Amino acid sequence: MIKNKIKMNEQSPKERTTNFKEVALGYTKQQAIEEAKRCLQCDSPKCVSACPVEIDIPKFIQQLTNNQFKAAYNTIEQDNILPSICGRVCPQEKQCEGACVLNAKFDSVSIGALEHFIGDFALKENYSPSHKITPVHHKIAIVGSGPAGLSNATTLTKLGYDVTIYEALHRFGGVLNYGIPEFRLPNDIINQEINKVKALNVKFEKNVVIGKSITIDQLFTDHDYKAVFIGSGAGLPRRLNIKGENYGGVLYANEFLTRVNLMDAANFPTTKTPIKTGDDVAVVGGGNVAMDAARTAKRLGAKNIFIIYRRDETSLPARVEEIKHAKEEGIEFRLTLNPVAFNGENYRVSTVVCQKMRLGEKDASGRRRPLPTDTYKTFKIDTCIIAIGQRPNPILSRANDQLKTDEYGRVVVNNHETSIPNVFAGGDIVSGAATVIHAMGAGKKAAYAMDQKIKSS
């Protein structure tokens, strides 16, 4: 057996920082089969229970080693309709790969990379999901076209329902579309995966804000829906709450990434939404969003980009691969620092003042708690991008006071159903900002709960 995982080809750091093309180039067929052969085909596979949607991992890997690519795709698609996406963006080291028995001595099987390979192969060969649909003629409305909504839609369609997804923006995919950059997840892949969902006869309506364009009540009374699923995500930036945060040049990662991903600002002035970074860019935060913002700034031509994070390197919540990629691309990490103020003239930012932190005892998250010290550092900046988390999108709960939320604004559910009968919810709007695959898992489970509720009433 090969002890170490087969490395995926990548664009070199020098080359890739000048373009927005995908960094990871994917396995070749040979590489995929080689890697697949490393799997031990465990009898009680630990990897499966560590995947939030419990894909039958050994089965698809076995099929892959036997050259049965279509069968491998159908195995995955039973539980995950977006393999090309999850194979790319799942934090595998914390999920499936983290639990792989091979970790004890060697590298884990590269489950994500294999899923990425099969997903792309299925797109290329135009494989379709396998299922027989017996229509049940009930209409379902879904709010939001992110991973939660897409997975809910697919599951309900397979159960025979007539499903429509309403999306507030002009493109589908939620964070996949407006948040995660092209160099990690190309738009083309998202579109193709969404086309597969469309091919199942799921209807997609863009530019409709539920709660505004159509209220939840109107979905039932005027449009005859039997049930509603809310997958409206965590699209509300968390604030630092410090002086100067509203100065020009200080922006939230959502704005920065939306300008580039949704509005294609990198091609300004051919496209009409502008963006600018200047030379010195600070990014506050240590998660995937911060890495994405920093690496995007690099590609837009910023010269000195540094991450400001209040804990140490081992506590960075981003995927290991993103941190590695960011470092290779020259992103600097200025750790155990916490921003306390922005300064500038005429409401334009010019410096960020940070307080040096020291690490104390472990907190509830299992990481050492950052504690303030008396030392401060000031950095000159042109732009600061704040990426310290997202809170649930408030549009729906504000438009409907019967929709119960908790103190963090998350929609409260009981067996996936909200405080409004026949209105279900899942994904980031329920859990707070989490992961693509958790949102998909929630969408799928909610679909079964919806089916049960409708059938029993």
Partner 1 sequence: MYKIVSKTTLNNTTDKMEIYAPFVAKNAKPGHFIILRVDKAGERIPLTITEHTDETVTIIYQKLGYTTSQLGQKIVGDTVEDFVGPLGQEVEIKEASTLLAVAGGVGAAPLYPQLQAYHAQGTKVDLVIGAKQQRYLILLDDYKSICNKVYVCTDDGSQGTKGFVTDFLKQHLKNHTYDHSIAIGPLIMMKHVVSLHKTFNLSTDVSLNPIMIDGTGMCGNCRVSIGDKTYFACIDGPDFPGEKINFDELISRQSFYTEEEHMCQLEELVSNDKK
Site for ligand SF4 in 69-98 (CB under 6 A): 80, 86-87, 90, 92, 95-96
Contact 447, 156 (CB under 8 A): yes
**Which of partner 1, ligand FAD, ligand SF4, none does residue 444 bind (CB under 5 to 8 Å by kind)?**
none
Site for ligand SF4 in 28-67 (CB under 6 A): 39-42, 45-47, 51, 53, 55, 57-58
Q: Is 170 in the site for partner 1 (CB under 8 A)?
A: yes
**Which of partner 1, ligand SF4, ligand FAD, none does residue 57 bind (CB under 5 to 8 Å by kind)?**
ligand SF4
SS3 of 457, please? coil
> What distance in Å separates the CA atoms of residue 178 and residue 91, rounded to the nearest whole number?
19
Sign (positive/negative) of CA torsion 448, 451, 455, 456? positive
Q: Which is nearer to ligand FAD, 22 or 336 (CB)?
A: 22
> What distance in Å separates the CA atoms of residue 158 and residue 383, rounded to the nearest whole number?
47
Q: Is 207 in the site for partner 1 (CB under 8 A)?
A: yes
Q: How far is the CB of 307 from ligand SF4 (least distance, A)?
A: 25
What residues contact residue 150 under an 8 Å CB cut-off, 6+ apart?
81, 82, 165, 173, 194, 197, 440, 443
**Which of ligand SF4, ligand FAD, partner 1, none does residue 135 bind (CB under 5 to 8 Å by kind)?**
none
Q: How far is the CB of 201 from ligand SF4 (least distance, A)?
A: 24
Q: Is 157 in the site for ligand FAD (CB under 6 A)?
A: no
Q: Is 24 in the site for ligand FAD (CB under 6 A)?
A: no
Distances (CA, A) of 58 to 30, 45, 130, 394: 18, 7, 20, 41
Total residues contacting ligand FAD (rule CB under 6 A)? 43
Residues in contact with ligand FAD, shown as a per-residue x/- string from 243 to 272 under the rule CB under 6 A: --------------x---------------
- Residue 308's region, left for phi above 0, alpha for psi from -120 to 50, else beta, is beta
Total residues contacting ligand SF4 (rule CB under 6 A)? 27
Extract the tokens encoding 312: 């140490």
Q: Is 434 in the site for ligand SF4 (CB under 6 A)?
A: no
Q: At what angle do helices 187-199 and 147-158 cross, to 10 degrees?
A: 20
Q: How far is the CB of 52 from ligand FAD (least distance, A)?
A: 10
Residue with tokens 């089916």: 451
Extract the tokens encoding 230: 């809310």
**Which of partner 1, ligand FAD, ligand SF4, none does residue 398 bind (CB under 5 to 8 Å by kind)?**
partner 1
